Amino acid sequence: MVIRYETDADIDAITEITIAAFADCQYGNHTEQFIVTALRPAVRR
């Protein structure tokens, strides 16, 4: 497994995966993708 920092080309796929991962979560409010987007600037290199 190779772990790397995301690139701009990854953002759409990460958003889609995040939405799908939490789609059936009864305890979330289905805004998880927005949380990931909001956190992105803090970890960008």
Single pTM value for the model: 0.80
Confidence of residue 36 (pLDDT cuts 50, 70, 90): very high
Does a structural domain hold residue 18? yes
Range of the domain at 36: 8-43
pLDDT in tens, 16-27: 999 999 999 988
Q: Minimal CA–CA distance to 29: which of 14, 19, 15, 17?
A: 19
The H or E element that residue 10 is part of is none
Does a structural domain hold residue 3? no
Does a structural domain hold residue 19? yes
Q: Under a CB-based contact definition with an 8 Å cutoff, are residues 21 and 28 in contact?
A: no
Q: Minimal CA–CA distance to 16: which of 37, 41, 42?
A: 37
Average pLDDT score over the chain? 92
Q: What is the number of structural domains in the chain?
A: 1
Of 37 and 45, which is predicted with more confidence?
A: 37
